[in-house]
Amino acid sequence: MHRRVSFLVVLALVLSALLAGCGSSTSSPEQVATDYFGALTTGDWATVAKLQSSRGGAFEPPTADEERIVKALTGRMAFDLGEAEVQGDEATIAVDVTMPDMDRLAVAFMDEVLPLAFEAAFSEDVSEEQLQLMVEEKFVEILNDPGLALSTYEGVVRLVKEAGGWKVLTVDGLDMSGDVFDGF
């Protein structure tokens, strides 16, 4: 009886691995890009890492300190993918990403946070940690403002075919002003 149960468990594991492998290798570049941006906009960092090519460097999810701000930003993102142009083991897909306008976001952030920072700098009652928390709260508040203008940025998703199927290599051309936000 014990042998039979062990055999069934091993058989189930092998079939699961085969089915999982088949599913990922048959995914189209468009599906991989859709899943990638879907994971980005929902903060599913494990899926983002799984869909990113190892050739592009290791994916580093946001730190615990960055998580709220990144989720507030990516939660306001929407994307529209074009059709894939496949050439051998490489593919490109045009993408339009709609998200908060970075110029207006920077202005709103500076308008709201500079007075807060100056006030805290001259106050002995506010610690550096408290100031950091206040700045983060203000930034998330600005990002969640339904009146914050959105802009659409054009880019290109570059994918490569690897052993496990299509993977995102880079997302190029999403040129946004405001170098302050490069970490996002």
Domain of residue 58, CATH code: 3.10.450.50
How many CB atoms sit inside 10 A of residue 132's CB? Answer: 12
- Predicted local confidence at residue 157, as pLDDT: 94
- Predicted local confidence at residue 79, as pLDDT: 93
Q: What domain range includes position 171? A: 26-181
pLDDT tens for the 184 residues of the chain, in order: 433 333 333 323 232 332 333 334 458 999 999 999 999 999 999 999 999 998 877 788 888 888 888 888 888 899 999 999 999 999 999 999 999 988 888 898 888 888 877 777 777 787 778 888 888 888 888 888 888 899 999 999 999 999 879 999 999 887 544 333 333 3
Please return the burial class of 135, using the count of CB atoms within 10 Å of its CB with bins 0-12, 13-18 and 19+: middle
CA dist 124 and 129 (Å) reads 13
In a domain, 11, yes or no: no
What 8-state DSSP symbol labels residue 155? Answer: E
In a domain, 6, yes or no: no
Contact 79, 36 (CB under 8 A): no
- Predicted local confidence at residue 54, as pLDDT: 84
In a domain, 17, yes or no: no
Matching residue, tokens 């859709």: 34
In a domain, 56, yes or no: yes
- Predicted local confidence at residue 24, as pLDDT: 42
Q: Give me the number of domains the chain comprises.
A: 1
In a domain, 35, yes or no: yes
CA dist 37 and 43 (Å) reads 10
In a domain, 5, yes or no: no
In a domain, 16, yes or no: no
What residue type is 105 in one-letter code? L
Helix ranges (H only) for 26-101 are 29-42, 45-51, 64-74
- Predicted local confidence at residue 175, as pLDDT: 57
CA dist 146 and 100 (Å) reads 10
In a domain, 49, yes or no: yes
